[in-house]
């Protein structure tokens, strides 16, 4: 199943309006070995997200009675995803990778009922095939689709009266470039942004995480509110695309 949406021309270098997402492509069931998989693209940023199920939990989860489930995430940028080539993380995961995969895991766990999942672990792997900004936010958006597909594959093994997923989750970047609030920044925009922010929200409109930094100087409450409003609208559109991908085959 493929969802492909292209935005209308606007004022940015790639013909987008300030409040428009990049063109989004979503291809469900991209691989067969994982319980859930999705190839997701935003502009030139391309990720493969897979969700794998293990009928076991980390040892510390076994102390619960009854044992409950767990969801974790891993993130990696493949060597050819950037130029120059990025070296593989072989023996030690770098600090940036650790930070991002923790963010992805926290974001996904915020919408999971672990008692309903039962004593099993779902691992969501997000591998960046090509990077042009927004990899962590696209990993969350695509990771949720893979997670939802994996949960759906457990149908018949889970309590029917208690859904595992309590809501959806999606994320987007938003920043101030040349004094203007832009959503879904590509690398060129991100590299010269005066303010840079990543926003994670549920489909129901609740915030999970907001990461915002002034790269030069400061920003006021008025600008913060404007950035959050644009991010909220963009995440609403991403939520719609997620739902479309999950109901289509």
For 108-112, 149-153, 236-240, 245-249, which range has the lowest pLDDT when averaged over its residues?
Answer: 245-249
Residue 90: per-residue pLDDT = 67
Instruction: State the residue for tokens 């593989």.
Output: 88
Q: How far apart are CA 56 and CA 249, in angstroms?
A: 29
Residue 89: per-residue pLDDT = 75
Q: How far apart are CA 182 and CA 226, in angstroms?
A: 10
Q: Tell me, yes or no, if the pTM score tops 0.85.
A: yes
CA angle 18, 20, 21 (to 5 degrees): 125
Residues 6+ apart with CB under 8 A from 86: 77, 78, 79
- Assess whether pLDDT exceeds 70 at residue 146: yes
| Count of other CB atoms within 10 angstroms of residue 232 | 16
- Assess whether pLDDT exceeds 60 at residue 249: no
Q: What CATH number should be reported for the domain holding residue 155?
A: 3.30.230.70
**β-pairing verdict for 24-28 and 45-54:** unpaired
Q: How far apart are CA 27 and CA 4, in angstroms?
A: 9
Please state, for a pLDDT cut of 90, what percent of the chain lies above it.
Answer: 77
Q: How far apart are CA 174 and CA 176, in angstroms?
A: 7
Q: Is residue 87 part of a domain?
A: yes
Q: Is residue 9 part of a domain?
A: yes
Maximum alpha-carbon separation in the chain: 56
Q: Output phi, psi for 215, to 5 deg.
A: -75, -30
Is residue 191 within 8 A of residue 173, CB to CB? The reply is: no
Structure tokens at 172: 């987007």
Q: How many structural domains does the chain have? A: 1
* C-alpha separations of 207 from 25, 33, 231, 239 in Å: 25, 33, 11, 14
pLDDT digits (tens, 9 = 90+) for 192-223: 999 999 999 999 999 999 999 998 889 999 99
Boundaries of domain holding 107: 2-165+238-247
Please state, for a pLDDT cut of 70, what percent of the chain lies above it.
Answer: 94
pLDDT digits (tens, 9 = 90+) for 58-98: 998 888 778 899 999 999 988 878 888 888 776 667 888 99
Cα four-point dihedral sign 155, 156, 157, 162:
positive
Is residue 198 within 8 A of residue 169, CB to CB? The reply is: no
CA 195, distance to chain mean position in Å, is: 20
Is residue 179 within 8 A of residue 161, CB to CB? The reply is: no
Q: How far apart are CA 160 and CA 153, in angstroms?
A: 13
């Amino acid at each position: 199943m493929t969802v492909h949406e292209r935005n209308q021309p606007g004022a940015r270098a790639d013909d987008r309006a300030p409040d428009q997402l990049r063109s989004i492509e979503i291809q469900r069931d991209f691989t067969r070995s994982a319980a859930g998989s999705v190839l997701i693209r935003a502009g030139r940023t391309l990720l493969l997200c897979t969700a794998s199920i293990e009928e076991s939990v980390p040892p510390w989860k076994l102390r619960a009675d009854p044992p409950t489930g767990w969801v974790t995430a891993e993130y990696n940028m493949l060597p050819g995803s950037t130029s120059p080539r990025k070296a593989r993380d072989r023996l030690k995961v770098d600090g940036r990778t650790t930070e991002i995969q923790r963010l992805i895991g926290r974001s996904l766990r915020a919408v999971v009922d672990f008692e309903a999942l039962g004593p099993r672990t779902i691992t969501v792997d997000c591998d960046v095939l090509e990077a042009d900004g927004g990899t962590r936010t696209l990993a969350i958006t695509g990771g949720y689709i893979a997670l939802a597909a994996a949960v759906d594959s457990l149908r018949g093994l889970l309590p029917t009266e208690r859904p595992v997923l309590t809501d959806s989750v999606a994320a987007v970047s938003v920043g101030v470039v040349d004094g203007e609030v832009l959503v879904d920044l590509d690398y060129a925009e991100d590299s010269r942004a005066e303010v840079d922010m990543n926003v994670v929200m549920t489909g129901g409109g609740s915030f999970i995480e907001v990461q915002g930094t002034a790269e030069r100087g400061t920003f006021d409450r008025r600008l913060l509110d404007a950035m959050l409003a644009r991010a909220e609208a963009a995440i609403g559109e991403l939520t719609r695309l997620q739902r479309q991908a999950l109901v289509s085959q």
